[in-house]
Amino acid sequence: MIHNQLGDKQQIILDALASESLAVSYHLYDPTGNLDISAGRAVPFHAASTFKAGILMAAVYISQSEKKSLREMVRVRNSFRSVVGRKIFSVPLGDKNFRKDKTPDYLDGEVPLYFLLQDMISNSSNLATNLVIEHFGRKKISRVLRNTFGLREFHLRRLLYDTPAHERCIDITVTPRTYTSMYPLIFSDIFSQESKQFLYETLSSPIHREGIPALLPSHFTVYFKPGNTEQIVADAGAVIPPDGKPYYFSAFIAYYKDKTEARNAIARASLAACQMVAAARDNTFSCGTTE
């Protein structure tokens, strides 16, 4: 069903994203309002940190399926092997005074698995991400993502900071539609109620909130994971408005001019997407304005 002004809102989304980029892509999926809209590049993007939500879901699913506890202890180390030539590499940790993630503080010690999962999402810890992937096995996680979850365009080809692999264009890539297909899983029967609660709490905790949730009313619930690289700014997640029925939105900006403004552009696009959903649901709730 096509509603009045939806075309205008689609243009708002594209204008917001394109003003900061040479390449943009977004996907909006609202099963309640019968919206399934994509625009921009359909090819896979470098995943940035948005892919970490998929790693979280796969890790929780595997633990649940194998009846293993998220309290299982994992050794913290910073030494990994490349998928190219098995070369050893490490994750840059940066200046401790500026670093937000907590996992590096426990090098050569042990932490519970749930600690790594939370740090991977809340503080976007790259070290925690690599430890989680290695703990479960990259191939096992890939099978869950692609076969169990049906995310065929989610390509987990390597760990983070595997430079030898990156130099051969072996990267972690996704499409915006991948993310809007992924987030509905957290509400499905594939997860137990206990697992769902952990996912909800973790995916509502990212400290960087300048994208999807930034301009939405505070009483909306948002489960999301933003990310950026030197070339990509991205965000993806599930938004639950006051009627309690989620919709899903993801946006990628490539080759941006300014990182802060690119995040602001995603925030404006998210607000326009919300207004499209509200219109499709006969304005049963309000998102605010784009003014």
Secondary structure of the chain in HEC code, one letter for each residue: CCCCCHHHHHHHHHHHHHCCCCEEEEEEEECCCCEEEEEECCCCEECHHHHHHHHHHHHHHHHHHCCCCCCCEEECCCCEECCCCCCEECCCCCCCCCCCCCHHHHCCCEEEHHHHHHHHHHCCCHHHHHHHHHHHCHHHHHHHHHHHCCCCCCEECCCCCCHHHHCCCCCEEECHHHHHHHHHHHHCCCCCHHHHHHHHHHHCCCCCCCCCCCCCCCCCEEEECCEECCCEEEEEEEEECCCCCCEEEEEEEECCCCHHHHHHHHHHHHHHHHHHHHHHCCCCCCCCCCC
- Residue 28 has a pLDDT of 95
pTM of the model: 0.93
- Residue 40 has a pLDDT of 74
- Residue 114 has a pLDDT of 98
Superfamily per CATH, domain 45-170: DD-peptidase/beta-lactamase superfamily (3.40.710.10)
1-43+175-291 and 45-170 have identical folds: yes
- Residue 39 has a pLDDT of 80
Segment 14-57, tens digit of pLDDT: 777 766 566 788 899 999 999 998 887 666 788 889 999 999 99
Q: Give me the residue spans of the domains in the chain.
A: 1-43+175-291, 45-170
- Residue 136 has a pLDDT of 98
Superfamily per CATH, domain 1-43+175-291: DD-peptidase/beta-lactamase superfamily (3.40.710.10)
- Residue 2 has a pLDDT of 35
Taking 70 as the pLDDT cut, the residues of the chain under it are 1-9, 18-22, 41-43, 97, 289-291
